[in-house]
Structure 1
Amino acid sequence: MKTTIQAPAQVPASEASDELLRLSLSQIFARLQTDEHGLSDAEAASRLERYGPNEPVATAKNTLLVQFLRLFLNPLVLILLCASGISIALGEIVDATIIISIVMLSNILNFAQTYRSQRIVERLRAEVAPTATVLRDGNWRDVPRQQLVPGDIIRLRAGDLVAADARLIEVNDLHVQQAALTGESLPVEKQLDGDAAAPGNLAEIQNGVFLGTSIVSGSGQAVIVATGLHTSFGDIASHLVQRAPETEFERGIRHFGLLIMQTVFFLVIFIVMVGLIGRHPPFETVLFAIALAVGLTPEFLPMITTVTLGQGAMRMAKRKVIVKRLESIQNFGSIDILCSDKTGTITSGETHLDSALGLDERPSPRVFLLGYLNSSYETGFKSPLDAAILAEPAPDVQGYRKLDEIPFDFERRLLSIVVQHEDQALLITKGAPESVLAHCTTYELDGEQHPLESPAGEQYNAATAIYRRLSEQGYRLLAVAHRTLPVRSRYSTADEQQLVLQGFLVFADPIKEDVAQVLQDLRRDGVQVKIISGDNELVTRHVCEQVGLESPRVVLGQEIERMSDTALVQVVEQVNIFARVSPVQKNRIIQALKIRKHVVGYMGDGINDAPSLHTADVGISVASAVDVARDAASIILLEQSLQVLHQGILEGRKAFGNVIKYLLMGTSSNFGNMFSMAGAYVFLPFLPMLATQILLNNFLYDFAQITIPTDNVDAAYVKKPQHWDIGLIRRFMIFIGPISSIFDFLTFFLMLRVFQAGEALFHTGWFVESLATQTLVIFIIRTVGNPFRSRPSIPLTITTVGVVLIGAILPFTPLSRPLGFTPLPPLYFLFLGLMVAVYLFLVQLVKGWLMRNLANHAVRTK
């Protein structure tokens, strides 16, 4: 009968979790006002309100109003608002109203688009948010980890990330990796009656587990004693809050920002100096300089990138690829080397037990019985091979009782279970054939045991020949061995000696039907696949040959162990298949590829994959992976498939391509127009364009670009990995920008000489021409090739053409006078049409020249 729990007394926030762990279990239950049956949903909700979410670092969320107001902290926006205030003080109410209206409209548009995209990303992240198995209202269920509270009872299994600081109440050979918290390199075995060491010495606390650690093997249950900021990890994290490593995308944006900042700085200094020398009114000069700075600054860049990457993430989600961090999309599209195990990617991952063979190569019920006992009593992470064994009809295991377990590790490549049968203890070992054979001194055949001679012996060679021949046929094998021991409470790896070899478990894992074609598609699109497998070289080579994955040789983990880092850097470039590698060796392979300047993606789903997922440029896991793997990955596949991954890479390239379009268009056309204004300011007796007109021009131009995220991307662009190239952006700005200036100066000549324009007509004519040229150029810049062969998206076409029409119609509307415009003569539009056509033609020619030079340079530098 469940004990009634009274209203809980709050545990003091200052009470460290390691101090609570020093209490007895009954004292902890009393302090937390809980018991082994856990909490009710209502009580958990009440405590969540009191203690807050289970997050190790405080992540305060700003309200929508605060997020919107933050947009006004942009230095240029603040200067504009100050300028509008001065305008009001000077009686220029109309100008001030226009400036404030344009700033407001820009920020509203920016906020609306960004907020929508952020909501999309949050929804996607929620799909792969970490959960914990908790006992609520008497039922075990998975809940988001943020909702855990002190007093909850949680279940721990191999592969789980420990969700909070907790006192163990049940253990079953529980081994925990707590290197991230204590620095210990090896997993630690936990015990219910373990010591609680001196406060602060987490490494010696045996009866508790901590947030930030992970379960390597075994299972258990625990009562949570601290969550979030009150955990040991939270205490450390609050003092060492570190930003995530800068991605290539963020680095590119930063370099682009520096380029724009330098250009704006020199332009503003030039305008101010010309204004002082030419004795222009100081306030007018400063306002004009600020407006030019705004015109050159792509203030919608954060919004455009967020929306573009957000929509890219949404398209990727439809293709079963979830992005945990938006900035990872560009890295994902930049992958040129993909490292993965063969299981689940090349093979189906649907492993089944083909046979259990004795050393005479006949079916052996004894081999199957021992293998079944080992798998059924194992408490570590169940591999597909264990699942295949347990999927078979169960043998009679009555009379066997588990005594102990020696967990699997990647150095021994063995797993042992000790069971009691009658009055004896039977140690059953299964693992990689060569590892098991190395521990065997005898073998069993027809119920009789015989000496197993050294590796040069006949029977040893015969056993080796069996597993090598089957491996060459693509089967995966585990060797099974055993020995009898006295019954005692604890066993260790020292007991895995003088084993009796019993036989082999033989598994089949069919190759996926479409994988050969997908590998070809990946190669065609610039992604080389390298298989890094823990399996032996024979089965790995056979599987890879079946799907056309070629490699001059197969490199084994033991060879990598003997290689220097310099030698490995050369080997990884040439070899595509690595076998019998440990987690440490996987890490070395990935690091060597990164030294060769490759963008490396690593795909993994196991406990041993977490270090490599961290090391790779892009860690890729699957929704069914263990917690530690999913937590380390930046990309989650809802289906373990190379086809799904390939489609995600292409979507990543498309999203990045649309961001680059915005940057190329903005820097080239904006720079040209701002350069023209600076030049005109030198010789014109009046301002070439009013500050409010510059801001309106810039707003309309930005509005035309908000649909760039919807644009189509050239098929040729997504056929190879794409990287940031600030040099290309700079060249576009320097070479294409001045082309628009040529037509700006031609417009000046027409307005002054042909139309004998006054100040208002000059402003109007140039406003319409500059808006048309800098906006319509997107149709040329959006594609590397012929613009007539690459169709823009319908939304981009509508906004671009629509903005040009708005600019042309504005002088004929009631808004004309407040904005300082006047109607244009019909002949002007004839000249405008001719100039725009010639301008776009010249941009196409120069763009082609730039791209050819870029391609030739890339060939020369290879």
Structure 2
Amino acid sequence: MIAQQPYAKDIALLSKELHTEPQRGLTGEEAEKLLEQHGQNAIQSEKQKSIGAMLLQQFMSPMVLLLVVAAGLSFFFQEWLNGTAILAVIVINALIGFYMEFHANRSMNALRQLASLSGKVIRDGNLQEIPSEFIVPGDVLFVEAGDMILADARIFQSMQLEVDEAALTGESIPVTKDEAVLEGDVPLADRVNMLFKGTYVTKGNAKAVVTGTGMSTELGKIASLVQGAEQAATPLEKKLEQFSKKLIRITLVLVVVIFIAGILQGAAWLDVLESSIALAVAAIPEGLPIVATLALAQGMLRMAKHNVVVKKLAAVETLGGTNVICTDKTGTLTQNKIAVNTILIPSGKSEVVYSPDGAVAIPEEVRKSENYQKIVDASVLCNTANLEMREDTLREVGDPLEIGLLKYAITAGRDIQQERERFPKIREAAFTSEAKIMATLHKSGDTYVVFAKGAVEELLQKSTHILLEGQPVAFSDNEKDIWLEQTEQLASEGLKLLAFAYKETSSIEEELTRDLIFTGVLGLLDPPRTEVSQALEECKLAGIKVIMITGDHPATARNIALKLGLTDKEQAPVMHGKEMKDFAKLNDQDKRQWLRTQIFARVTPKQKLDLVTLLQENNCIVGMTGDGVNDAPAIKKADIGISMGIRGTQVAQEVSDMVLKDDSFTSIVVAIKQGRIIFENIKKFVTFLLSCNLSELMVVAIVSVWNVHFSLLPLQILFINLVTDVLPALALGVTKGNDLIMKSKPRKPEAPIIDNQQWRSIFMYAAVITLCVLAAVFVSHYWYHRTEVLQAKLCNNILFFTLVFSQLWHVFNMASAKVGFFKSEVIRNKYVWYALFICSLVVFTAYFFQPFREVLYIQTMGIVDLAISIGFSFLSLVMIQVLKRMRLVV
């Protein structure tokens, strides 16, 4: 987008070329024109498969190729009707598979649109937050610690800026940036005055003019080379693939045995071959991966309705096995509506009372004190947040705590814009999780003033004086300890504490966080979310341990934990970050202490990462929540990384598997519940498909061994598969689950989709269905028609219809035996009833429509034979329900 080398150009020249002004940015009208010219700021996604390619793919499975061979052999031997019918089944199967994949792709595309990054830009002289797609060349970006950089840009103003460019350059250490012009041909990794899309800020802040967007960025150039790479299969897909291969091997062995038995009994080899191929198709649920994908996609969309955006399909499988949740406190367990509640200055403690119209009431002597005025000054000036009115709506940009300070300053009578223009910011020492202090240098007339805010213990350590009655006085012995005791009491009341200090200086080079004058402390209240207590109780019942990890004061963390019911001990142990050894030096006793502790306070990013690592080493499936760049390593390391959608930094959202749109802990519990439901649904329809298909194998195998005068025909097997497999399986895939889903322990991650107990149940299901199907023929043959010479066609029809209806009723056996039959999740699933209605309609249409009867070798039956067929199919449901209540099957 820029002719050549923006890093080698003076910012004035570059701005002129881009028709922008660094201080005011573009106008809204200019930005719209540039958006039309350059297009949206997005990396082009991998080319979607065309509808034709998606349809063609449905014919490429080995099972379909076997059917094509069978159809070809039928035509070769002039079995025109059979060949045509097999081709019709192939087309119908392909259309169903195409519809399911097309619908799954649409569901996934809808999910991708749910989460969109946004960036802060200066337009029309105001700081605004806009979707990343609308950033254009010439925009002025404002970035700070935790922000993902959304476009390539040339820096013109920076404060202690460090950027992690590992994703782009492979450099593992963050790069220090500045605005100086570079000369010559500079390698990408050395362009220190440039920001690059896809990297993120780890420290400081900066303003920069956008020089490239979308595919014109350095990241876009790389993306264009790798778009053809195939996406790796998810763990669930791998399990399904392994499962299918195992099933194919088992089925091929059975088919070969049946084929050899048929030849030895003198049957026509073509008939035996067709039957064998049909059996292979009957036994293998070839649509299983597509059904699973559709179930996952719909489940993910269902989560989105509960304010949870799941970014990675594989995360759904892991969700069901999560047994430890490491959660932040602020905004997740609490409401994140931070407001000043208490003022603590040398003259004493005062409560802030808010009136319904938002005004504040504090004692007059406090309001007039120099300490209070300095605290309010710092709240406005030592602050990177912003409040702006847009279309009569107050738009908040920045950290919620800093926004709370700005709102309080407004109620205290301060004009934020005027205050910042009166004391322009010159330098800044950005807040970091290690330093826990932010300080800014401002011009004040002919001198300068520093304002600082941060953790009480850290700011007291950096302060040499305290402001008393308007005069700085050196701290006396033990005075700092007294302040720590007072703030400890405030913290125990659930208040978030923020200490303030200042100093005046004549030097612009003064170290900002040294020799400060302490002014006082504000206590900010962030009340617990009312719904979290119930969610925590659900976690306990579900066998999920919840661990609070916070940067707050230990007493604050304990108080919130008590209020929420996370612990019931008033002196519950809280592990302070200072007590946590380096991970490599932990002994067994230290590890046991970490594992026993439920509340961690004042922890560093590395300690969060170490804790997640230790939990994983002890066979825990860990969900980690966080909002900042300091949480990103632990979020990425966790089995399920969970970021906040409202206050979460972009880097945290990028590395996470899930984004909570409402930042609420309750949404995590909902997501875990949905993850369990989805995995249970997958097990349900896998069990259903296998037991139905195995019953077909058993029926054909038994009648082949008995060498009786009737059996199922290949086309009948294909028809049964078409009718009973697809729609009921899809309906099971969207079951909403029962109320007991969160009252069982998490499943083990290494557990297969179908374990040994379920395999035994599948064989018992298939055996019961087979028994009832053969019993129906036996009763009709040897009881009702005992004086007649029974035709093979009638026996075949009873066999056929009993098997069809047994498999349709079998869908109800997929419900949990722990709840009443009529209260089960399957009975309450309306899609199951829709599926049964449609399938029954297809069966009765085939029965009453002459052309279908001829193709399927069907004849009309008497009322008694129909009653025998339907009665014994219903008997299979009753027998299996009895076995489930006796806990002989699951």
TM class, shorter-chain normalised?
A: 0.7 to 0.9
Aligned partners of 2:497 and 2:217: how far apart in 1? 47
Q: How many angstroms apart in 1 are the aligned matches of 2:142 and 2:443? A: 27
Q: How has the CA–CA distance of structure 1 residues 569 and 819 changed in structure 2, closer, same or farther, with 3 Å as cutoff?
A: farther
Correspondence 1:522 to 2:539 = yes
Deviates more, 1:434-443 or 1:291-300: 434-443
Alpha-carbon distance in 2 for matches of 1:262, 1:751: 36
CA distance in 1, matches of 2:582, 2:34: 58
Per-residue Cα deviation, 1:483-521 (whole angstroms, up to 9, x for no partner): 444423x566xx533333332222222233343333223
Contact map agreement 1:321 1:637 (CA 8 A) in 2: yes
The match for 2:148 among 149, 157, 161 is 161
1:127–1:568 distance in 2 versus 1, CA, 3 Å: farther
Distance in structure 2 (CA, Å) of the matches to 1:714 and 1:851? 21
**Cross-structure match for 2:562:** 545
Seen in structure 2, the aligned counterparts of structure 1 residues 446 and 25 have a Cα distance that, compared at 3 Å, is closer
Distance in 2 separating the partners of 1:113 and 1:704: 11
- The structure-2 alpha-carbon separation of the partners of 1:21 and 1:260, relative to structure 1 and needing over 3 Å to count, comes to farther
Equivalent residues of 1:174, 1:219 under 8 A apart: yes
Cα deviation, residue 61, structure 1: 0.9
Q: CA deviation at 1:196?
A: 6.2
Deviations 1:824-846 (A, max 9, x none): 34332333244224322332244
Asked if 1:784 corresponds to 2:800, the answer is no
* AA in 1 matched with 2:42: N
Check the 8 A contact 1:367/1:480 in 2, yes or no: no
8 Å CA contact 1:481, 1:500 repeated in 2: yes
Instruction: Please give the secondary structure, in 2, of the residue aligned with 1:777.
Output: helix
Aligned match of 2:873 in 836, 847, 850? 836
Q: 1:41 aligns with which of 14, 17, 32?
A: 32
Which residue number corresponds to residue 63 of structure 1?
Answer: 50
- How many angstroms apart in 2 are the aligned matches of 1:91 and 1:149? 67
* Contact 1:661-1:781 at 8 Å conserved across structures: yes
The offset of 1:659, in angstroms, is 2.2
CA distance in 1, matches of 2:582, 2:843: 70
* Aligned residue in 1 for 2:352: none
Partner letter of residue 215 of structure 1? V
The 3-state SS of whatever aligns with 1:743 is helix
Residue 500 of structure 1: aligned partner: 517
Aligned residue number for residue 59 of structure 2: 72
For 1:417 and 1:154, locate their aligned partners in 2 and report how far apart those are by CA, in whole Å. Answer: 20
Match of 2:114 among 81, 103, 127: 127
Q: Secondary structure at the match of 2:431?
A: coil
- Structure 1 window deviating more from structure 2 (70-79 vs 476-485): it is 476-485
- Structure 1 position 611 matched with structure 2 position 598: no
1:419–1:30 CA distance, 2 compared to 1 (3 A): closer
Structure-1 residue corresponding to 2:271:
284
Aligned position for 1:857: none
Indicate the residue corresponding to 1:443 in structure 2. 466
- 1:405 CA drift (Å): 0.6
Query: 2:655, 2:709 → 1: CA distance?
Result: 60
Partners of 1:224 and 1:850 in 2: how far apart?
68
* 2:381 paired residue number: 376
Shift of 1:116: 3.0
Equivalent residue for 2:731?
Answer: 707
**2:432 is paired with a residue of what secondary structure?**
coil
C-alpha contact (below 8 Å) 1:88/1:96 kept by paired residues: yes
1:795 maps to which residue?
Answer: 831
Q: Does 1:596 align with 2:618?
A: yes
Q: Does the aligned pair in 2 maintain the 1:41–1:137 contact within 8 Å?
A: no
**Contact map agreement 1:371 1:505 (CA 8 A) in 2:** no
- Contact persistence 1:784–1:851 (CA under 8 A): no
Q: Equivalent residue of 1:653, what SS?
A: helix
TM-score for both structures, normalised by structure 2: 0.84
Distance 1:141 1:483 in 2: 32
Aligned to 2:401: 385
Query: What is the aligned counterpart of 1:556 among 573, 576, 586?
Result: 576
Deviations 1:604-629 (A, max 9, x none): 22232222322222222333232222
Secondary structure of the residue aligned to 1:343 is coil
Q: Could you tell me whether the CA contact under 8 Å between 1:371 and 1:430 is conserved in 2?
A: no
Deviation at 1:578, TM superposition (A): 0.8
**One-letter code of the match for 1:610?**
A
Q: Which residue of 1 aligns with 2:687?
A: 664
Tell me the equivalent position of 1:477.
497
More moved, 132-141 vs 299-308? 132-141
RMSD of aligned alpha carbons: 3.5
**Mean Cα displacement is larger for which, 818-827 or 751-760?**
751-760
Looking at structure 2, the residues matched to 149 and 841 of structure 1 have their Cα atoms a distance apart, in angstroms, of: 67
Q: Structure 1 stretches of 5 or more lacking a match?
A: 1-9, 855-862
Instruction: Give the % identical residues.
Output: 23
1:168-198 CA-to-partner distances (Å, cap 9, x unmatched) read 3454554433343345555444322154685
Task: Give the direction of change, closer, same or farther, for the CA distance of 1:31–1:441 in structure 2 (3 Å limit).
Answer: closer
Partner of 2:765: 736
Instruction: Name the CA shift for 1:388/1:143 in 2 (closer, same or farther; >3 Å).
Output: closer
Which has the higher mean CA deviation after the structures are superposed, 345-354 or 778-787? 778-787
Q: Could you tell me how far apart the structure 1 residues matched to 2:701 and 2:637 are?
A: 49
CA distance in structure 2 between the aligned counterparts of 1:196 and 1:469, rounded to whole angstroms? 58
Partner amino acid, structure 1, of 2:771: I
Deviations 1:757-803 (A, max 9, x none): 54433432222122122221111222233424423423312422553
Q: For structure 1, which segment, 753-762 or 65-74, has the greater mean C-alpha deviation from structure 2 after superposition?
A: 753-762
- Residue 397 and residue 228 in structure 1: after superposition, are their counterparts in 2 closer, same or farther (change >3 A)? closer
CA 1:841 to 1:543, structure 2 compared with 1: closer, same or farther past 3 Å?
same
SS in 2 for 1:707: helix
Q: Do the aligned residues in 1 keep the contact of 2:9 with 2:181 (CA within 8 Å)? A: no
CA displacement, residues 325-383 of structure 1 (integer Å, 9 cap, x when unaligned): 34433433443322212211332211112244333435454355256336534448943
Distance in structure 1 (CA, Å) of the matches to 2:379 and 2:183: 33
Name the SS for the 2:42 alignment partner. Answer: coil
Distance 1:468 1:209, change over 3 A: same
Could you tell me which residue of structure 1 aligns to residue 355 of structure 2? none
Residue 646 of structure 1 deviates from its aligned partner by 3.1
Q: Partner residue of 2:193? A: 207
| Equivalent position SS for 2:86 | helix
**Equivalent residue of 1:91, what SS?**
coil
Distance 1:603 1:219 in 2: 27
Kept in 2, the 8 Å contact 1:154–1:223? The answer is yes
2:681 maps to a residue whose letter is N
CA shift, 1:695, in A, is 0.9
Alpha-carbon offset, residue 658 of structure 1: 2.3
- Return the alpha-carbon distance in structure 1 between the equivalents of residues 383 and 372 of structure 2: 17
Aligned residues: 828
State the alpha-carbon separation in 2 of the partners of residues 338 and 508 from structure 1: 25
Question: Contact conserved, 2:813 with 2:881, CA < 8 A, in 1?
Answer: yes
Letter in 1 for 2:839: V
Distance 1:131 1:384, change over 3 A: closer
Q: Which amino acid aligns with 1:210?
A: F
The aligned counterpart of 1:827 is 864
Q: Cα distance, 1:740 vs. partner?
A: 2.4
Task: Flag the 1:572–1:684 CA change in 2: closer, same or farther, 3 A.
Answer: farther
For 1:659-680, what per-residue CA distance to the aligned partner results, in whole angstroms no more than 9, with x for missing partners? 2211111112221221332343
Aligned partner (choices 788, 801, 804) of residue 771 of structure 1: 804
Q: Look up the SS of the partner of 1:736 in the other structure.
A: helix
SS in 1 for 2:529: coil
Change in 2 beyond 3 A, CA 1:507/1:146 = closer
Picking from 530, 535, 538, the partner of 2:552 is 535
What 5-or-longer segments of structure 2 have no aligned partner?
Answer: 350-365, 386-396
**Matched residue, 1:716:** 740
Whichever residue aligns with residue 378 of structure 2, its letter is: L
C-alpha separation in 2, matches of 1:709 and 1:548: 35
Equivalent residues in 2 for 1:248-647, closer than 5 Å: 249-278=236-265, 280-361=267-348, 363=366, 364-366=369-371, 368-370=373-375, 372-373=377-378, 375-379=380-384, 382-391=398-407, 392=409, 393=412, 395=414, 400-452=423-475, 457-488=477-508, 490=509, 496-550=513-567, 552-562=572-582, 564=585, 569-624=591-646, 625-647=648-670
8 A Cα contact 1:166 1:223, kept in partner: yes
- Post-superposition shift, 1:210? 1.1
Q: Is the 8 A contact 1:779 1:792 kept in 2?
A: no
The whole-number CA distance in structure 1 between the counterparts of 2:337 and 2:21 is: 41
